Amino acid sequence: MSETRWPKAILTMLKITNMQTKLQDRRSELRDEFNCQEPWQLSTRNKRISRAAYKKYVEESVRAKLDSDWQDGMSGKTTLDRYKSFKTAKGTIEHLCDNTQGSRFLANARAGCLQTRRYRSRFENIDPTCQRCGKAEETLEHVILECDSPPEAE
C-alpha cells in the first residue's frame, strides 16, 4: 500500500505513537492464546500467503488448541477413562441419545458409572459377585465382555 493512502498513514501514526486499536489488541490476545503466527511469518520465499490459506491455518490452530484443552479437561475425571480412550476429537454423535432406557444405559456405560453390583457395593451392603455366572465381580467389562451366562428373559 502506498504511503500516501490514508489507511497506511493511520497505521503509520499508530505505530509511531505506539497505540493499538481494539482489533489489534484482540488479535494479539488470540494469537497468544491459540499460538498462531502472523501471516508474514508463514510466507515463504517472499510469497504472500493468501487470506483464505491464513484463515484455514488459524481455524486449524484454534481447533487443535480447543481439542487439546478438552482432552486435558477430561484427564482428571475417572468416570471418563473409557470414553476418553476412544473419543479423540470434540464433537457430537447424532442420534446417540434418544431418551430411551437403552440410551440411558449406554450413556452410563460410556461414562463408567453403570450401576453394576460392584459399583452399587460401594454405596450399599451387597455382594459384588455376578448373579448370573457367580464367577467374578459384576463390573462393566465383565457384563459386556466376559460373562458367559445368557441374560435373563424378562
Q: Exposed, middle or buried, 36 (CB in 10 Å: 0-12/13-18/19+)?
A: buried
Task: Render pLDDT for 78-132 as a digit per residue (tens, 0 to 9).
Answer: 777 766 776 766 766 655 567 777 777 777 877 777 888 888 888 889 999 988 8
Domain count, the chain: 2
- Is position 75 within any domain? no
In a domain, 94, yes or no: no
State the Cα–Cα distance between residues 3 and 15, nearest whole angstrom: 14
For residue 84, being part of any structural domain is answered with no
Q: Is residue 105 part of a domain?
A: no
Q: Is 58 inside a domain boundary?
A: no
Number of H helices, E strands in the chain: 8, 0
Q: Can you give the pLDDT at residue 154?
A: 47
Spatial distance between the Cα atoms of 118 and 128, rounded to a whole number of angstroms: 4
Inter-residue contact 84 to 71 (CB < 8 Å): yes
Give tens-digit pLDDT for 3-37.
788 888 888 888 899 888 888 888 888 888 888 87
**% of the chain surpassing 90 pLDDT:** 4
Q: Which domain holds residue 20?
A: 1-34
Would you state the pLDDT for residue 45? 66
